[in-house]
């Protein structure tokens, strides 16, 4: 399919216009392909962490201390996060000037090819220091790709559907991204169950990378069948694209929208980093649970997150962005507090309480719809990408360190952090729902 603008009055144009009031068959195709691609791309990005120990043993000198090996390995993992803002901003610039679809397809290609190559890389024993050097280069490309994929995908789907389905579209895509984390976890569990530790180190660690790369490249092919968004196509037709550097425009003219988008991204990082990524290890260490039990419950909680993404996105469409943010922020703070507090007295409730908390983490399905609304179409990709990636790099990067320091004071300190961010979400949601300026920001600009 090409990216050309449909002729005015044509059947295709009538079908694709974003002011239709129903979710069309074409919209469902867009959501399905976008969510599938997002899941595969996030799988490619996170699979590294599940095999970090094995990778560290194979790609660094065998005679270095184990702690240094771990630091270097996770340093390579972190390089992907550090590359996200720059990659996201560059790809967003071209997404606002050349087209959403082009960048949407490029981002998954930039993720899939490095993942495939990681699965084929020679180890330190074969090529020496070239092994970790090539690994970090591929990881940087992955980080740049995911920095463009996440905000680009949210913009792409939101501009394809009618305004009344904006929340559901973003929630569906968020479900796909979270599903990618679950796929990575399940793949790691399967590899370690089927193969012995020796076999994993010998060859089996390569399997998840090769599978992820191949399926990712297949997703690149599938995205050929997607159209350019009607919103961008109309801007091209009317020659209404950004007249100057999009980043310069948003920093000068869209500061309130940037502040809102960064604030809700901070809430998102608290939900994902603390509740989903850090909590399994925390409860295993503090409450005497086995790591297998903690991570099994975590997998079920991620399923609940996927469901919550759909529900919270749907609520944005039905009751408004501000009210949804108030309700889900409160739900997140309360359920996580109950969950960790109960683990002290009755660990038998691990699964149901973690799943309930996971459902509240579904607030991440509402976040993109809220963050995207304040930016006009001409700079929408850049505005969302800058806000999301910079906020995620700062808050997502420092959250584990801050929470770990807080735990020297109390084992329940993670609940304080999540509660504080939940309170911020409630206050922000009230402002968006009740103040004239807040309501104006939440109006979807076409």
> What digits encode the pLDDT tens for the residues 152-166?
888 888 888 888 889
pLDDT at 197: 85
> What digits encode the pLDDT tens for the residues 389-411?
999 888 877 787 788 788 888 88
> What digits encode the pLDDT tens for the residues 114-162?
999 999 999 988 998 898 889 889 988 888 888 888 888 888 888 888 8
pLDDT at 25: 67
Quickly state the pLDDT bin for 67 (edges 50, 70, 90): low
> What digits encode the pLDDT tens for the residues 411-441?
888 899 999 999 999 999 999 999 999 999 8
Pick the CATH number of 24-241 from 3.40.190.10, 3.40.640.10, 1.20.1250.20, 1.10.3480.10: 1.20.1250.20
Q: Output the CA torsion sign for 156, 235, 262, 79.
A: positive
> What percent of the chain shows pLDDT beyond 90?
32
Residue 332 to residue 171: CA distance in whole angstroms: 17
Domain map (residue ranges) of the chain: 24-241, 242-446
Contact in structure between 381 and 151 (CB atoms under 8 Å): yes
pLDDT at 444: 72
Residue 390 to residue 174: CA distance in whole angstroms: 19
Domains 24-241 and 242-446 equal at CATH topology level? yes
For residue 292, is pLDDT > 90? no
Cβ partners under 8 Å of residue 420, min gap 6: none
Which residues in 283-441 belong to E strands, given as ranges?
none
Find the helix packing angle between 130-160 and 52-59, rounded to 10°.
Answer: 150
User: Domain 242-446 classified CATH 1.20.1250.20?
Assistant: yes
For residue 22, is pLDDT > 60? no
For residue 9, is pLDDT > 50? no
For residue 23, is pLDDT > 70? no
Find the helix packing angle between 321-345 and 279-286, rounded to 10°.
Answer: 20
Which residue, among 30, 364, 25, 34, has the nearest Cα to 176 in the 3D structure?
Answer: 34
Q: What is the pTM assigned to this prediction? A: 0.82
pLDDT at 287: 65
Residue whose structure tokens are 């790709």? 145
> What digits encode the pLDDT tens for the residues 362-384?
999 999 999 999 898 888 889 99
Question: CA torsion, points 234, 145, 279, 309, in degrees to nearest 10?
Answer: 20
Contact in structure between 324 and 428 (CB atoms under 8 Å): no
- Residue 293 φ/ψ region, left for φ over 0, alpha for ψ in the -120 to 50 degree band, beta for the rest: alpha
Cα separation values, 335 from 258, 291, 295, 326, 385, Å: 29, 22, 19, 14, 30
Mean pLDDT of the chain: 84
Residue 415 to residue 295: CA distance in whole angstroms: 19
Contact in structure between 141 and 114 (CB atoms under 8 Å): yes
pLDDT at 302: 92
For residue 88, is pLDDT > 80? yes
């Amino acid at each position: 399919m090409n990216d050309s603008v449909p002729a005015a009055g044509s059947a295709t144009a009538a079908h694709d216009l974003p002011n239709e009031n129903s979710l069309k068959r074409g919209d469902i195709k867009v959501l399905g392909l976008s969510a599938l691609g997002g899941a595969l791309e996030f799988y490619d990005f996170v699979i590294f962490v599940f095999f970090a120990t094995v990778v560290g043993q194979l790609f660094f000198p065998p005679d270095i201390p184990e702690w240094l090996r771990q630091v270097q390995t996770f340093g390579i993992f972190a390089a992907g996060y550090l590359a996200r803002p720059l990659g996201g901003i560059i790809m967003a610039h071209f997404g606002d000037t050349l087209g959403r679809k082009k960048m949407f397809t490029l981002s998954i290609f930039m993720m899939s090819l490095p993942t495939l190559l990681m699965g084929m890389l020679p180890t330190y024993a074969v090529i020496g220091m070239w092994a970790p050097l090539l690994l970090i280069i591929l990881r940087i490309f992955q980080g740049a790709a995911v920095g463009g994929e996440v905000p680009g995908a949210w913009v792409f789907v939101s501009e394809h559907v009618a305004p009344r389905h904006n929340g559901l579209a973003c929630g569906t895509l968020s479900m796909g991204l979270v599903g990618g984390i679950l796929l990575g976890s399940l793949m790691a569990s399967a590899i370690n169950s089927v193969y012995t530790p020796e076999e994993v180190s010998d060859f089996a660690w390569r399997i998840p990378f090769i599978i992820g790369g191949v399926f990712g490249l297949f997703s690149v092919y599938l995205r050929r069948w997607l159209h350019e968004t009607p919103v961008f196509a109309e801007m091209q037709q009317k020659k209404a694209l950004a007249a100057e550097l999009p980043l310069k425009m948003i920093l000068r003219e869209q500061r309130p929208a940037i502040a809102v988008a960064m604030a809700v991204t901070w809430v998102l990082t608290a939900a994902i980093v603390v509740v989903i990524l850090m909590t399994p290890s925390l409860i295993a260490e503090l409450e005497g649970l086995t790591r297998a039990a903690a991570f099994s419950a975590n997998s079920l909680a991620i399923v609940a997150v996927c469901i919550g993404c759909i529900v919270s996105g749907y609520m944005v469409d039905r009751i408004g962005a501000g009210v949804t943010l108030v309700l889900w922020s409160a739900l997140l703070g309360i359920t996580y507090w109950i969950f960790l507090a109960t683990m002290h007295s009755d660990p038998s409730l691990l699964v149901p309480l973690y799943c309930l908390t996971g459902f509240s983490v579904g607030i991440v399905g509402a976040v993109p719809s809220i963050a995207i609304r304040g930016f006009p179409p001409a700079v929408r990709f850049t505005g969302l990408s800058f806000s999301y990636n910079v906020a995620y790099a700062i808050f997502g990067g420092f959250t584990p360190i801050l929470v770990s320091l807080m735990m020297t004071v109390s084992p329940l300190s993670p609940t304080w952090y999540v509660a504080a961010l939940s309170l911020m979400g409630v206050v922000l949601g009230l402002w968006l729902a009740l103040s004239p300026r807040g309501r104006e920001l939440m109006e979807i600009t076409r």
